[in-house]
Amino acid sequence: MNPNFPHTGPMLIEKAEPVVVVPEPEPIPEPEPKMSVDEQNTLAISNFGEKGFEAEQVEKGVVVYLPPEIYFNGSGAKIDLEARNKISQVAEELNKDYLLERRVEVIGHTDSTGVPENNLGLSKLRAESASGELVFSKVNASRIELTWLGDTAPRYPESNSDGSINYKNRARNRRVEFIILNP
């Protein structure tokens, strides 16, 4: 008999439970800090500027203007291929993660010629045409608000200082603007 092992009968050996190695849990990644509205607006203005758009911060958000050489024919609301491509670029930016939760207001305008009631209807058609292009470019329609102002908000003076008509500015007032609305 072994003095170090005083057991004299049959030995029972217990089966050891298998050892399961549990890996260390992976750390939960910190969510990326959410951009403030001011940071979103600054980034949007910069990104639109790089694409050749004029954009500026206003009280409601960021207004994006199509390049001034893109405008509508006198009494038309049809969007030509060049404008369609530019609106597609607007949509591309609107669909980026940092702006996905923001709504966009599409505002239609006319020049000052014609009857104000007709201009109001025409500006509505222009806003609808532009918003249709945004939807075609995959901007969710629920994010879009339409506004039409007719000839009530010209961006450029349609008369020169001598009282003559500035035809270039008149044409530039036939436009659509996009406002990325602050939440």
Q: What CATH number is given to the structural domain containing 166? A: 3.30.1330.60
- The verdict on residue 10 lying in a domain is no
In a domain, 30, yes or no: no
Look at residue 139 and tell me if it is in a domain: yes
In a domain, 113, yes or no: yes
pLDDT at position 96 is 97
Instruction: Express each pLDDT in 129-167 by its tens digit.
Output: 999 999 999 999 999 999 999 999 999 999 999 999 999
Q: Compare 70 and 134 and report the one with higher pLDDT.
A: 134
- Cα 22 versus chain centre, distance: 45
In a domain, residue 18? The reply is no
| Residue 133 belongs to some domain of the structure | yes
pLDDT at 13 over 70: no
Number of structural domains in the chain: 1
Predicted TM-score (pTM) of the model is: 0.80
Q: Which domain holds residue 107?
A: 40-181
Residue 5 has pLDDT above 60, yes or no: no
For all residues of the chain together, what is the average pLDDT?
Answer: 90
Lowest mean pLDDT segment, chosen from 10-14, 47-51, 135-139, 143-147: 10-14
